[in-house]
Amino acid sequence: MGVTGVVRKTRARVRERGAPTHVATLALRPTPVQRSNADKRLDAGRRVFNAVLGECFRRRNAMVTDPAYLTARSLPVGKTGAGSTIEQRAVKKARTEAFKAVQDAHGFTESAVMSFASSLRVAWVREHVGAQQAQALGRQAFRAVADWHYRGKGKPRFKSVRRGMRSMTTKDTLGNMRPVLTGGVIIAVRWGTDVIAVHSPSGNSRKARETRAELERVSAAVANGGLLSTRIVRTPVKGTTTLRAHLTLDGHPPVRHERGTGRVRLDVGPQVLAWTTFEQDSPAGVPHLSLLADGIENIQARLRREQRRLDRQHRAGSPDCFHPDGTHIRNGCHWGRSVRKSGHATATQVRVADLHARVTGHRKTLHGQLANQILTHGVDVATEKIAYTSWVKTFPRSMRDRAPGGFIDRLRRKAESADGGTFYEFSTYTTALSQTCVCGARQRKPLWQRVHRCQCGITAHRDVFSSFLADHVHPDNGVDRLDLVGAAQAVGLLHDIEDARGPAFTTKRRGRGPASRRSMARIKARRKAKAAKRQSRSSAGTTHPTPTATPATHGVETA
C-alpha cells in the first residue's frame, strides 16, 4: 500500500564529528514552468548571497580596524597540545577569548551572519528563498570570507548575473527542499511549491537497471533517516536548463568494486601513468602502463572544430574586435553586447559549451575507471609529491586533456575511503627515482629519453622502473630515503622489466610507419595551399588592410 509523504527529521539527532557521508545524485524531469521557477529561485539566491557577502566584508573590515583586535593580535601566542604547560595553555586561552570577544562585538560569526541572511527574506525574496536556504547561503558566504581572512585563501567574488548561481542547498532536512516518497520510493523532490519528478528509466538495459537499483538504495537510506541535506544543481545541456538533486546521506558509499590487499606504486606523467603492483608481503612486482583519460581525443577534436567555427563567425560578425594583424583586442570586445550575435553563432556557442561539459564528464568517468582498476590490486598507494600546476606551461595540451592532478585527487579520495587504505606522497628531492639505479649510479636524463639503461645491465622503461623503486622508499626521521639494498635484491623479481613499452600500453598511431620524404613533401604542400586559401578568404572578407609585417611567432605552440 503506497503512502505519500515528505521525509522529515528532528533536530535532536546528534552525529559524531567527522562521521562519513556520501552524495547520491538523482536526475529530475522538470516541466517548463518548474524550470522557469528554478531560474527565478536561483537568481534570488544569487542576490541574497551577494548581499550577505558584502555584509561579511563590511563586518570583517570593521573588526580588523578595531583597537581591541590589534590588542588581541599583540598578545602572546601560547601553546596547546602534548608537552604544553598550564601557563602556556592559559596564555593561548586568553588570546582565543580576546579574539572571540572582538568577533562577537562586530557580528563576524557564522550564527550572526546566518541570522542576517534570514533577515533578508522580505517582500518577494520570501517567495523564492526558504529560511533554510537563506541560512545555507549565509554560511557559505561567511566561510568563504573566513577562509580568506584566517587561512589565506583567495578572496571570494560576487556572483554576476551572467554566471548566476549554480546550485542551492538547505541547512538540514527541515526546509522546503526535500525528497517525496511514495511506497518507500522517491518519486519527486519538493522545492517550495513545486514538486519536481525524479527520472526513473523503464527499460531493461544495464544502465536502466543500475539506475533503478541506485534509486531503491537511496530511497531506503532516506526512509531510514539517513538524509542530511538536499541540494538542487542547475546544469545547462544543449542550451536547456537541466536539474539534478544531490542528496547528502549518512555513512559510507556502497562498494561497487572489489578492493585488493596488495601495494600499488605510481609514477605519474603528463600523459602516461606507470604503476607497479605488489602482492601482500611480497617484493615481486608486476608493471603496468596506462594512458590517462584514454579516449578523450575524439571529443577534443570535435571541440576544436567547433571553436574554430566560432572564431570564424566572430571575425565575420564583429571585425572591429581584432587588430589589423588578426589578434583579438583584449578588454575591448563588444561582440554579443553592442553587436548582436547571429543565430548560427549562438548555436555554435551552445555546442561549444556542451562539448566542454562532455569533455569534463568523460574525463571524470575515465579517471574513475582507471582508479578502480588500480585499487583492485591494493589500497596501499604511494607516489611522488608533485606540483602538477607547474606542468601547465611545459605540457599545456596534456594537462588540458589528461588532467593528471585531478586523477591523483580522485585516486586519493578512493584509497583513503577504503577500509585500511592509505595514500602516501614522498618527496622527490631526496629520492630522485628517475635518475637513480639500484647499483647506486645516478644520472640525469632528458625528457625525451624514456628508457633507463645502466652500465650494470638493467634496461627498463623509465617510468616503470621509477614505480618499482617507489616501493623501496621509506621515511627516515621525517626524511624520505630510497633503500637501494632492498631494491637491488628485489629487482630480479620484477616481471617484464626489459619491456620498454609495457603490456598495458598501446599507441594509437595512424599508419604503419613513419612517412616517407615524398609523402611529407605532399603533406607540406597541401598544408601550404590550405593556408594560402584561408588567407585569401580572410583578406577578402574583412575591411582591414593586409599587414605588411609577419606576426611574431615566439611562444606559439606548433603541431
Which tens digits make up the pLDDT trace of 348-397? 999 999 999 999 999 999 999 999 999 999 999 999 999 999 999 999 99
Which of 243-257, 448-462, 496-510, 545-559 has the highest mean predicted lDDT (pLDDT)?
Answer: 243-257
pLDDT band at 516 (very low <50, low <70, confident <90, very high): low
Strands 459-461 and 380-384: unpaired
Q: Which pLDDT band holds residue 553 (cuts at 50, 70, 90)?
A: very low
24 by Cβ neighbours in 10 Å (0-12 / 13-18 / 19+) ranks as buried
Cβ 116 vs Cβ 138: under 8 Å: yes
- Structure confidence at residue 502 (pLDDT): 42
11-50 pLDDT, tens digit per residue, is: 545 677 778 888 999 999 999 999 999 999 999 999 999 9
Q: Could you report the per-residue pLDDT of 519-534, keeping only the tens digit for each?
A: 677 778 888 888 888 7
Give mean pLDDT, residues 501-516. Answer: 44
Q: Which long-range contacts (CB under 8 A, 24 or more apart) does 542-549 make?
A: 542/315, 542/319, 543/319, 544/319, 544/322, 544/324, 545/324, 547/324, 547/325, 547/326, 549/325
In angstroms, rounded to a whole number, what is the distance separating the alpha carbons of residues 373 and 258? 9
pLDDT of residue 448: 86
Least confident of 114-123, 259-268, 432-441, 501-510: 501-510
Residue 281 has a pLDDT of 79
Q: Which domains does the chain show, CATH number per domain?
A: 20-33+171-250 (no CATH), 37-169 (no CATH), 263-306+351-493 (3.30.420)
pLDDT digits (tens, 9 = 90+) for 267-317: 999 999 999 999 887 777 888 999 999 888 888 889 999 999 999 999 998
pTM score, whole prediction: 0.75
Distances in Å between the Cα of 208 and the Cα atoms of 14, 185, 370 are: 36, 16, 23
| pLDDT category of residue 334 using cuts at 50, 70 and 90 | confident
- Which of 86-95, 294-303, 539-548 is the least confident region? 539-548
pLDDT band at 6 (very low <50, low <70, confident <90, very high): low
Q: Which of 219, 162, 229 is nearest to 23 (CA)?
A: 229
